[in-house]
Amino acid sequence: MKTAHSILFIGILSLIVSSCTKEVKIDIPGYEEQLVIDGNIETGMPPIVLISRSSDIYAPTNLDAYLNGFVSGAVVTVSNGTKTVELTEICTDNLPPGSEAMASAVFGIPIDQLASFHICAYTSFDSDIWGEVGKTYNLTVTFEGKTYTSTTSILQPTALDSVYWKTDDNYTDRGYSWATLSDPLNQYDAYRWEAKPISDPVFYKPFQPFTDDQFFNGKTFDFSYENASNCNGTYEPAEYRCYYKLGDTVVIKVSKLPRDVFEFMEKKYTQIYSSGNPFATPINLPTNIVGGALGIWAGYSPWYDTLICLP
């Protein structure tokens, strides 16, 4: 009878377990090229609609792909219930005078480079179809024989009770913008916060610009936002970034938006902030476009205030 046994492991020819990585093109079900409709309308402003195509996950993602993704030749109409207007296609290399700043903001291209690209958007110079509070706007896009529709509204804006500036605990001349909001009772409300230094042409969105009143319906409360215009870049020392400084003059824009627009935006920011994180769980954005397109048709009703950063 064996009283003991032992195993001698005298050699493994390959002790080092090596891992390797390779780029693969596994089948990812679910892809079909879809139209992407990115439209918005806000009080006193024309409707602006950008139309592009989605790309396969394995498609090139270079600048050409981005630029070539925009669609030209669609028939886009907007109706406010009493009037229907076909939008005009305007392109970055042929912009109406005075629209350069807005086009720069819409396309994300510096003003001085706009003319070197050919990206088109759909808008209207007919002020009868510009945004008005309380109206509902129906969007219809016809392209390559398919029709896509959506509806959005410009809601009654909610004014901030007050805006003020307060120094941060660590500084005597730097601080965040603060505001007091009385949220209307017994109705759903969603908000977007934007702000800009008075001399800037475009508004900046903070890290989390969207919120709804799920947790503060009908309440009055104070809240703060950072200065999104100087959170990036190197022209401010790192310790001063995201603050307003004593003496700044800031234009604040608080917009109301419909629930479906908020739900799209909330999930969009969740996806953006989790992109590239291997722990993030996937999330798709709920569109309000009917007909099989991606994107959003968004109505905003802004309310403006001016903040002078003084104690």
Site for another protein in 262-281 (CB under 8 A): 267-268, 270-272, 274-281
Question: Which residues is 45 bridged to in the sheet?
Answer: none
Interacting residues with another protein between 17 and 36 (CB under 8 A): 17-31, 33-34, 36
Is residue 47 within 8 Å of 124, Cβ to Cβ? yes
| DSSP sequence for 204-245 | B--SS-EEEGGGTTT-EEEEEE--GGGSSSSSS-GGGTT-EE
What is the C-alpha to C-alpha distance for residues 245 and 235, in angstroms, rounded to an integer? 14
Q: Which of 88, 270 has the CB closer to another protein?
A: 270
SS3 label, residue 90? strand
Q: Which of 107, 148 has the CB closer to another protein?
A: 107
Closest approach, Cβ 5 to another protein, in A, equals 4
Q: Which of 85, 266 has the CB closer to another protein?
A: 266
Interacting residues with another protein between 141 and 200 (CB under 8 A): 181, 183
Q: Which of 174, 192 has the CB closer to another protein?
A: 192
Strands 35-42 and 88-91: unpaired
Interacting residues with another protein between 102 and 141 (CB under 8 A): 107-108
**Binder among 117, 164, 178, 223 for another protein (CB under 8 A):** 223
Closest approach, Cβ 241 to another protein, in A, equals 14
Is residue 75 within 8 Å of 35, Cβ to Cβ? no
Interacting residues with another protein between 38 and 77 (CB under 8 A): 38, 52-59, 61-64, 66, 69
What is the C-alpha to C-alpha distance for residues 24 and 33, in angstroms, rounded to an integer? 21
The label of the residue with tokens 């009654």 reads 156
Size of the site for another protein (CB under 8 A): 77
SS3 label, residue 240? helix
Query: By CB under 8 A, is residue 98 in contact with another protein?
Result: no
